Amino acid sequence: MGNQMSRRAFLGLGATAAAVAGATVAGCAPAKQETASSAEAAQTTKADGTPAFLVQPEVPSAVAEEKDCDVLILGLGLAGTAAAKAATDEGAKVIAVEKQPEDTYSVVSMAGDWGIVGSKVQKDLGIEFAPKEDIVNEIEKECGWRADASFWSYWYDHSGEDFDWFIEGADYEVLDSTAEDLESGDHKPNYIRPKAFPPLEGYDYKREYYPYFHGSVTTNPNMGWACEAARMSALDKGMEVLYGTTAEQLIKEGDAVVGAYAKGADGAYTKINAKSVVITCGDYGANPEMRQYYAPETVIFEGGVNTGDGQRMGIWAGGRMERGPHAPTTHHMGGVLGVDSFLQLNTRGKRFMNEDIPGQNITDALVRQPVALDGETKDAGIKSWQIFDSKWPEQIGSMNDGHGYINHYVPADQVDQYATVLNGFKLGYVTDQMVEEQATVKADSIEELAEKMKLDAATVKAEIDRYNELCRKGHDDDFGKMAERMFPVENPPYYACSLTVGGMLYIFGGLECDLDMHVLDDDDVPIEGLYVAGNSMGRRFLVEKPVVVAGLSLATATSFGRLAGANAAKGV
């Protein structure tokens, strides 16, 4: 196949950083990545300027084994599992290649939110989503109209039935509300919880600058049992899995992809011949060179697991990366009161924004705040302080609803009734004890609060006085926060939660594809035999990862994984 790559495939994003970070790829939990020096960058760039990570390896000179199948799936995460189940449903002979060893293989993670529309689970709960045009247009707006609206239309129309299909055969129960308690009675270990349901009384998404659309569900304790149900379905229908094996490059005959070379843990290569190949290898968040090249703004974040194997293989086979800006998932979950819209001061003691924005967007603001002058605060990575007073229990119900918000106060005499939801992760409920234990600092005066935050007391007092003045006026002259969420800081004791920029889960930036899930070449022509889904695909998220619907990434990975697997099996 050679090491040739077109200029358009090479550029991908258009105008991107010319230098490439020289750090090597870390493991599953890479440390914070720093931008490489020019000398280091030169060591990872060929003479023609091609970054080393885009240089195709040589074809293996020796192959230990050769296998044949109808559909080859590269990566058995969520999207790959959906593709495998769909392909075996069509009667295809499926081989899946998975990096993880069989004895430790798992797709379990904290993630469990599914932004699905119209599933049987939702219908049984009486959940109805907002109209398609409202949701799709909001997603497009937040993505700068760079995402493909036809993909989002498909998601709205199919994600519910795709979820029902994906969890077929699983043993679970469905809770009636987010706060339903499981501490008593006979309950199943796996269950589905509606997300932020029922909605806050009087909540109207049409009034919100960043609306939240209620209707998502959460698989608890995580998404593992849902994926296992789909994986077992594919295995029962004959899927073969090569665990502990890494797909290294695709095989082409003429213009068609006809298989892949994969390397086992022992270093031996297997040649897998296939009628169709589905790339579901995840994102490139753990590849510092790709991050520096495609999304240099993300190098400040820790996080990432996948190394962009699928994107690189697709490019070597003639595909191209979608143009950016790519969208990092930096879901800031805030402090003990989440991302509620309380006053925020930066590390110079100054208010700097309308605080009524979700966690993804709060991160966008925090990364641009000055570093702290105090050495200890700087080393801790603190960028701002969320400040509230003792009246917080009666104020949180006025905040926005949904992902990352805390809206429900649980009095001490009711804690036993909310044990399940209080033990969950940022599900919207909070107690006095949680605030007392988890707030970073507490003080009886503004001066003491400033001292504990290591900020200039006069500056902090002036900013809080100004904020209180605007709260009493009922209009935020400085940043335009809605009056309903302007609460003066004047009732001691006072609390402050320190916020860093947060971490990064994924980078959404993948191979260009059409709605049949074919990978596209430089001329937007489908590459025969090559499909893509999940975080290796493009067209879903660009610029920003919206949180207006919780669980969009899982839902779309399922829907487009199913579509890719079915089309690969049928040769569509």
3-state secondary structure 249-278: EEEEECCEEEEEEEEECCCCEEEEEEEEEE
Rounded to whole angstroms, the Cα distance separating 97 from 264 reads 10
Using CA atoms of 529, 532, 536, 541 in order, give the dihedral in degrees to the nearest 10.
140
412-423 burial code (b ≥16 CB/10 A, e <16): eeeeeebebbbe
Q: How would you write the pLDDT of the chain (572 residues) with one tens digit per residue?
A: 333 333 233 333 322 222 222 222 222 223 333 333 323 333 456 667 788 888 999 999 999 999 999 999 999 999 999 999 999 999 999 999 999 999 999 987 767 999 999 999 999 999 999 999 999 999 999 999 999 999 999 999 999 999 999 999 999 999 999 999 998 788 999 999 999 999 999 999 999 999 999 999 999 999 999 999 999 999 999 999 999 999 999 999 999 999 999 999 999 999 999 999 999 999 999 999 999 999 999 998 887 889 999 999 999 999 999 999 999 999 899 999 999 999 999 999 999 999 999 999 999 999 999 999 999 999 999 999 999 999 999 999 999 999 899 999 999 999 999 999 998 888 999 999 999 999 999 999 999 999 999 999 999 999 999 999 999 999 999 999 999 999 999 999 999 999 999 889 999 999 999 999 999 999 999 999 999 999 999 999 999 999 999 999 999 999 999 999 999 999 99
Q: How would DSSP label each residue in 341-361? A: --EEEETTS-B-S---S-HHH
User: What is the per-residue pLDDT for 20?
Assistant: 26
Lookup: tokens for 298 = 């993300």
Q: Distance between alpha carbon 247 and the CA centroid of its chain, in Å?
A: 24
User: What is the per-residue pLDDT for 36?
Assistant: 37
First to last CA, the chain: 25
Rounded to whole angstroms, the Cα distance separating 27 from 155 reads 33
Question: Does a cis peptide bond (omega within 30 degrees of 0) precede residue 198?
Answer: yes
Rounded to whole angstroms, the Cα distance separating 294 from 288 reads 10
User: What is the per-residue pLDDT for 45?
Assistant: 62
DSSP 45: B
Rounded to whole angstroms, the Cα distance separating 456 from 240 reads 64
Contacts of 346 (CB under 8 A, 6+ apart): 352, 369, 370, 383, 384, 385
User: What is the per-residue pLDDT for 47?
Assistant: 65
